[in-house]
Structure 1
């Protein structure tokens, strides 16, 4: 049943990619928000 193992690995790979994309977008949004706040502070 090598197809079964393949689909399990595929599922893990897809969820890992989705997780990384979510964390990255959260990090970028937080960084963008922080930069905007610090710019407003200096103005």
Structure 2
């Protein structure tokens, strides 16, 4: 996987990478919404 400091770096499968990326994106979106709401 990519050396981005993720604990699942050993998982080089496509599903694992996509799931990890989606999880990080969800966390980032949640942090953005919680810190700076759009409404």
TM-score (norm 2): 0.61
* Structure having the higher Rg: 1
Could you say what the CA RMSD is over the residues aligned between the two structures, in angstroms?
1.9
Equivalenced residue count is: 27
Structure 1 unmatched ranges of 5 or more? 1-6, 36-43
Q: Relative contact order (alpha carbons < 8 A, sep ≥ 6): 1 or 2 greater?
A: 2
Moved runs in structure 1, 4+ residues, more than 3 A?
A: none
Structure 2 unmatched ranges of 5 or more? 1-11
Higher helix share: 1
TM-score (norm 1): 0.56
